[in-house]
Amino acid sequence: MLLLVDLDGVVYRGAQPVPGVAALLVARAEAGDEVVYVTNNSMWDRADYVTRLSGMGAPVDPDRIISSARATALYLRDLQPPVRRVLVVGGAGLVNELVDAGIEVVLSGDAAERWSANGRDAAAAVGHVDAVVVGLDLEFTYARLACAAEAVRAGARFVATNRDPIYPHEKGLMPGAGSIVAAIEAASGVTPVSIGKPGPLLLEIAAHAVGKEASDAVMIGDSLVTDVPAAVAVGARSVLMLTGISTRKQVEALAASDRPTEIAADAAELAVALDRLAGGG
């Protein structure tokens, strides 16, 4: 089977591994399953995830880590006409993935400095770009907003890594990439293409990375807002892990068509669920 595995809330919670999941994924990979990690997080590149996952004992291959940053880079790389130069509102992980895909990057921070120093001329500060790519930017400012919005209004493609309005942090809920995307959307009047879950693109790109179709996958996630709807969007089966942000009671409140195929409270229940799905149950 192709297993598309969410990270935070499934493989780990913050800095702590979810007990038993890494070992289960190793066993599934040794039995012939394809394990591909998918996450809406755009802050880190694949090297960061390799270090983290290998340290937890999970099976890991850089080409099978498809964050929203990586998926965005692959999406842009394969577009026609080609995308050669982009303005990035986002973190180092997003920049690294775009550069790795052969795309020239204009940093929004550099553009914002030129905007401030040269009479607030956003068009001159940015120059020509084929796309504006937006992820989570911890240093987002009015100047970066002005430059991004002007580039979009000038005709650049507007691509969001994801539209998550918030993301959970050890100290509470923090503004997510979607908050920044919404600001640029409001200022430009243009709705972006969004790569991340709950839309289909992240799962489709992840499946294609290993020569598979997303409809044949099993999505393993902890969110009824992103993971399960993404599985529904591509026609895939899903396992909802109760090790993250969702509860069984929330599942019971959903229409049957919106529910996960299986529910697992821990790694042991996940193993049983995957055996059942592998057997066609």
Tens digit of each residue's pLDDT (9 = 90 or more) over 98-115: 999 999 999 999 999 999
Please give the share of the chain, as a percent, with pLDDT higher than 90.
93
Choice among 19-33, 62-76, 127-141, 163-177 with the minimum mean pLDDT: 163-177
What is the per-residue pLDDT for 100?
A: 97
**Res 245: pLDDT:** 87
Instruction: Cite the residue boundaries of each domain of the chain with CATH code 3.40.50.1000.
Output: 2-40+198-278, 80-194
Catalytic residue, chosen from 8, 45, 164, 227, is 8
Residue 281 banded pLDDT, cuts 50, 70, 90: low
8 Å CB contact between 189 and 198: no
Average pLDDT over residues 179-192: 98
pLDDT-derived band at 167, boundaries 50, 70, 90: confident
- For residue 188, pLDDT over 70 is answered with yes
In the CATH hierarchy, which fold is given to the domain comprising 80-194? Rossmann fold (3.40.50)
pTM of the model: 0.95
Catalytic residue list contains 45: no
**8 catalytically annotated:** yes
Name the band, by pLDDT with cuts 50, 70 and 90, for residue 15: confident
For the domain 2-40+198-278, what is the CATH code?
3.40.50.1000
